[in-house]
Chains A and B, each alone.
Chain A
């Protein structure tokens, strides 16, 4: 059974940093791309970033380019999202998703709050 467990969310001040984690199990992690998708309170889904199975290719949304970085450690079955220079508009639930087919499995999400 595919399981994705996010962690690392929390309260951070504007301009601060957070690192999100997504630990995967139940499938051959290194074989599949992974994505981060966020959802602001009461809003729709917004794709944030994606990374290939090997980690050699990464993709980032324009809204977070230059501030967020995706990476993965296939030995730990974990994908990361490093978030710097956080803004109020980055506040959201952040989900990781497996990408065998687009977003075929999702984690339960981790909440990021940006406030002073």
Chain B
């Protein structure tokens, strides 16, 4: 399995674009998944299979996967998007990234 590396923190002002990366793998055809976890709450899936949004997730959330790095993009970040974000790749023996704390202020 691969260790997945995420930046510990990302900070943006409201309305700006936040980008959170997940790297450390080099095999193609691994799907990336992203989970948002607000303080004291359970994780919620916000992106699956690289770039798909579950129902109810705002359009400002998007994802991409180059094959060596997955990126979660939040365009026009809002204060309510402040949370920890965790990445996960398929076929990686259940390994999650270390998480990124997004601050929006």
- The chain A residues found within 8 Å of chain B, CB to CB, are 35, 44-47, 50, 59, 61, 95, 101-109
Contact = CB atoms under 8 A, between A and B. Distances in A.
B99 A103 contact: no
Nearest to A60: B94
Given A45-B43, A95-B42, A101 B95 contact: no
A84 B59 CA distance: 44
A61 B1 CA distance: 12
Contacts of A61: 94
B102 to A, nearest CB: 14
A104 B54 contact: yes
Contact of B43 (A59, A101, A103): A103
Nearest to B6: A44
Contact of B88 (A59, A102, A109): A102
A104 B48 contact: yes
B96 A47 contact: yes
A107 B42 contact: yes
Q: How large is the interface on B (under 10, 10 to 19, 20 to 34, 35 or more residues)?
A: 10 to 19
Interface of B: 33, 35, 41-45, 48-49, 54, 86, 88, 90, 94-99
B42 A47 contact: no
A87 B101 CA distance: 28
A25 B83 CA distance: 27
Contacts of B35: 45, 103
Contact of A102 (B90, B98, B99): B90
Contacts of B45: 101, 103-105
Most buried by B among A44, A106, A109: A44
Given A95-B43, A102-B88, A103-B88, A45 B99 contact: yes
Given A47-B95, A103-B33, A103-B88, 11 more contacts: A35-B94, A44-B98, A47-B94, A95-B43, A102-B48, A102-B90, A103-B35, A103-B45, A104-B48, A104-B54, A106-B43
